[in-house]
Each structure stands twice: as C-alpha cells, then as structure tokens.
Structure 1
Amino acid sequence: MKEKKPVGPHKLLKICRRLFFSGALTMLAAAYLIGRFYTWRGNEAPMFLWLMAGAGFLSLFRCLQIASLRLCCPYCGASLMAGGRMPSSLPHFCPDCGKSLDDCD
C-alpha cells in the first residue's frame, strides 16, 4: 500500500484559493439569482438556488478550515496563516524557524 505524501504549503495554498474563489462565485451567483426570483415572482425562489448558496458557503468554510489546520511550516509546524486570515502568498522563509519555504514542494 502506498503511503500518502504530504502536500506542500504552496500546493495547499493553491487548492485553498481555488476552493475559496469557487465558493465565493457560487454564493454570489446564487444570491443574484435568488434576488432576481424575488423580483420576478414574489417570494418564490427554487430550492436549488438555496442549495447552491449553501454549497458555496460550505466551500468557503471548508477552505478556511483546511488552511487554518494544515497551512503550516513543514519543518517546525508554525502556522503560515497571516494573523488568522488566508494569505495571498506565502513568505519565502518561515516566520518562526527561518527555514526556506521555496524548496519544500
């Protein structure tokens, strides 16, 4: 049986970014369509749109959860979340141990 190789921080940040933006776009599209349905037909929005908005919210939540739990230095385990928020890019060196993060993927 093959052992799973841990995902490096750069690859994990790409995955989290994709999850975040796909969830945000899904939520925005659902909110727009729900608003249009309320304008067109009164208070009747299809259940599919509410499920779409919920799926977008879950994607955003899961992305932030993965980033906060697994986006850390592979050497010392220090969190790479910039003050509790998802970073737009990773630093070149770990803020705690000072080792290079560029060659760990």
Structure 2
Amino acid sequence: MTNILNWPDYNVSQVHESEYDYQVYAELKCPPSFCIHCYTSDLVGFGKRTEILMDIPMHGKRVGIHLNRKRFKCQSCNKTFYELVSRKDEKRRMTKRLIEYIERES
C-alpha cells in the first residue's frame, strides 16, 4: 500500500475514506534499539496501544492517524516505555506539521 502520509519511517496498513475525512492506520517501521532510561539494548515487547493523531488536511478532508505504538520493557532497569514518535507534538495529539499548517493559515 502506498504511504499516504509521505513519511518513509511509517508503515501504512489501511486507509479509510469517508465524505469528510481520511482514517489512516499506521505504525513505525523501526522499533527502538535501546532503552531510553539506561541506554542498554536488553528490550522485550510489553504490549501496545493505538493513539489517534490529527494531521494536515488532504483533498479538503481532515486526516486522523491511528498510530499503533508498541510498548517495551527494559530487562536491565525494569522500566517500560512506548516508542518515541518524532513527528508528534509533545503537548498535543497532533503532528508537528499540522501545528505549522495552523500557524501559516492563521
């Protein structure tokens, strides 16, 4: 399937289109290789969750990204963490490019 998001580091599995919006189902291609707390590479999978992020409009329709984020547990420090999403704004449930788009259009 083509990557409608135009981000090479994401796998897009499905795209649902309705009259008013696109629902894009995606996940990151590369899992983390080290713990974000102690920087060891002793990680195991520890679940996942789906997070919805809003993105810039496409073809006059809003875009919602259903991002499947994996959770990991470090065997060394025993802490858990989710994959880091570099394209997500840290304070909001939207992409950084949507914030830039809103700033430009305001």
* Structure possessing the higher radius of gyration over alpha carbons: 1
Is the strand fraction higher in 1 or 2? 2
TM-score bracket for this pair, using the shorter chain length: under 0.3
Higher relative contact order (CA 8 A, sep 6+): 1
Instruction: Name whichever structure is richer in helix by fraction.
Output: 1
Q: TM-score, normalised by structure 1?
A: 0.26
